[in-house]
Structure 1
Amino acid sequence: MTDSPLPPGSRIAIAGASGMIGSALTRSLTSDGHEVIRLVRHAPRAKNEVQWDPDAQRIDAAGLVGCAAVVNLAGAGVASRRWTEAYKRKIRDSRVLGTATLAEAVASLEEPPGVFVNGSAIGFYGDTGGRAVDESAPPGDGFLPALCVEWEEAAGAAQEAGIRTVFPRTGLVVAGKGGAWGKLFPLFKAGFGGRMGDGRQYWSFVSLHDEVAAIRHLMETVSLSGPVNLTAPDPLTNREITEAMGHVLHRPTLFTTPAPLLRLALGEMSSDILGSQRVLPTRLLESGFTFAFPSIESALRAALT
């Protein structure tokens, strides 16, 4: 359900089009006849590529002319490596500088896009324990909440220019390849899966299919702006998700990874695994969005097909 579907052939720019979510979104849009403009760091090799350098805050803004929407999903992987101070700086700069660059570029256009969709994450809320939170909750404490606040604030130029700006705060994306489940599936398939820590921490997940559908919903629903949580309606604990993984894959889930071992192996990044985030998609549901794979079992089966 949308307020204003994009007409076929709409021009849509995507930063981060080669990533897990970006590539799935690109496939979805092109299959419906839209023209996807990919923002790339190298010299353009095709007519649908526009060069940008988010680190230097440079972009060929002329390449964004005529875009009905601009989507920013670019950023260094949060779980790609241990959080050294240098890598935390890279995580931050890749998001904040890139967002500022794009926001200023779209704001400078004589005819700006109708919507700027700028990625964010449920890391905004920090560790919520067993308490359910939605978009009305304040930011939490720590590196990820501070990052998300700065990330969203970096889009200020677009908002000040009157461009509808939406922040999809994405949860843990259930996909066959990439993201958290890209690492979990091989372990569970081999019979080495199990809960992490005490297993009582909430994981707010979303299927890749619903993630893409929700982003498209944000693009086309003119009543939506600001933060919107992209998570399935019923977040589950790590223990419950572990049981579902075992059931779907027909594998035992006897192994456990003690919290102290995770902290030793992953350092500060372990807080993202051991922390509890019970996040609800209140605004998404209120706007009429319907999940295709709302349960963890349906999301897992969709990822494996």
Structure 2
Amino acid sequence: MMPRTVVIAGATGFIGSYFKRRFLEEGWQVRTVGRDASADAQWNDDGAITKVLDGAELLVNLAGRSVNCRYDERHRREILDSRVLTTRILGGAVAACAEPPRTWINSSTGTIYRHAEDGPQSESSGELGSGFSVDVARVWEDELAAADVPLTRKVPLRIAIVLGAGGVMVPLRNLARLGLGGPMGPGTQKFSWIHVEDLLRAVLFVHDHAELTGPVNAASPYPVDNRELMSLVRQSLGVPFGVPTPAWLLEAGAVLIRTQTELVLKSRWVEPRKLLDAGFAFEHPTLAGALNEIAATR
């Protein structure tokens, strides 16, 4: 039997490298699009990208510069371009395929929803927010919608914060080890998250369920607040105590560690309504279980 082929765009990051390894373990043929020389096609070569996509069954676009930085003018431009231009390039390449992928899953972000402490934001009832991060997410999704690829189902995946042996866990664990693993700001802000393995499983599930269209939220059904998040991070490391960090101190500290306080102060309450209604079962639904699994695999 011919192996199924997936094309991963942006396969070098924390999520991309995990996806590449797991798809190979599941018996898929993996082709990649990226900036580095090891990729099967580079972003500046439209013909090579079309060739890589032609005959593939699934396209997963994870490309995008990390948002874990200060939002100065240069970084804002890089964050926007790395998402919108890559999506545009892929749209042109898919359109040029003789045998285009059946499904195109394009990263989006759960940050597209407003700051919400009053209720969960589902795909149908959620309210979009405002600000730079939301503007990027909207333009990103608009670019996917604009791609003229009638034979390919396009799904923007609104991904919550992804947990695994990299990504956001690194700074949170470092803070906890330094004794600064207490609640951040009010501590009541919601933290929507998903284990990287469940993200992979959600991608495969969406691919296999042709009835799923439009944006799909990828988040555990059990978000926690920041106070519980930091408590669980401390427990997973065996650190008994963490000093709370007021918002003003976070603002000062964020400049030093070159990141945005929005990453920890915005209340993200993302509900995976479409996945749950379609019968998706999470392997790591609770944060305590997910953190213990991550600590064990380290």
Q: State if a TM-score over 0.5 links the two structures.
A: yes
Amino acid at match of 1:60: I
Q: Which position in structure 2 is the counterpart of 1:172? A: 161
Task: Render the CA deviation track for 1:218-254: whole Å, top value 9, x for unaligned.
Answer: 2222111221111110111000112222333221233
Secondary structure, aligned partner of 1:192: coil
SS at match of 1:154: helix
Matched residue, 1:283: 274
> 1:125 matched to which residue of 2?
113
Distance in structure 2 (CA, Å) of the matches to 1:86 and 1:265: 21
| 1:27 aligned partner | 21
Deviation at 1:76, TM superposition (A): 0.3
| Residue matched to 1:135 | 123
**Partner-residue secondary structure (3-state), 1:155:** helix
Unaligned runs of 5+ in 2: none
Identical amino acids, percent of aligned pairs: 34
| CA shift digits 1:52-102 (9 cap, x unpaired) | 239xx78631221111111100000001x2110110111000001111110
Partner of 1:41: 35
Query: Could you list the per-position Cα deviations for residues 12-69 of structure 1 after superposition, in whole angstroms to 9, with x for gaps in the alignment?
Result: 11111111111111111111211100113245x5xx7122239xx7863122111111
Q: Which residue of 2 aligns with 1:63?
A: 52
In structure 2, give the amino acid aligned to 1:95.
R
Superposition map of 1:93-132 within 5 A: 93-132=81-120
Aligned match of 2:227 in 211, 219, 239? 239
Secondary structure of 1:277's partner? coil
**1:16 matches 2:2:** no
5+ unaligned residues in a row in structure 1: which ranges? 1-6
Q: How far apart in 1 are the matches of 2:209 and 2:104?
A: 12
Aligned partner of 1:255 in structure 2 is 243
> Residue 214 of structure 1 corresponds to which residue in structure 2?
202
Q: Match of 2:140, SS?
A: helix
State the alpha-carbon separation in 2 of the partners of residues 58 and 111 from structure 1. 14
CA deviations 1:144-181 (Å, max 9, x no partner) are 1111111011113446524101111111112122x211
Structure 2 Cα separation of the partners of residues 190 and 108 of structure 1: 52
Partners in 1 of 2:222 and 2:36 — Cα distance? 41
Q: What is the alpha-carbon root mean square deviation over aligned residues? A: 2.0
Q: Which residue of 2 aligns with 1:188?
A: 176
Q: Distance in 2 between matches of 1:138 and 1:59?
A: 39
Matched residue count: 292
The alpha-carbon distance between structure 1 residues 63 and 71, as it changes in their structure 2 partners (threshold 3 A), is same
Q: Normalising by the residue count of structure 2, what TM-score does the alignment of the two structures yield?
A: 0.91
Conserved 8 A contact 1:59-1:101: no
In 2, are the aligned partners of 1:8 and 1:34 still within 8 Å (CA)? Answer: no
Distance in 1 (alpha carbons) for counterparts of 2:90 and 2:35: 13
Deviates more, 1:276-285 or 1:157-166: 157-166
Supply the distance in 2 between the matched residues of 1:16 and 1:60 (Cα, whole angstroms): 13
Asked if the contact 1:104–1:157 (Cα under 8 Å) also holds between the matched residues in 2, the reply is no
**Distance in 2, Cα, partners of 1:209 & 1:161:** 30
Tell me if 1:52 matches 2:75: no
Task: Work out the CA distance in 2 between the residues paired with 1:158 and 1:241.
Answer: 38
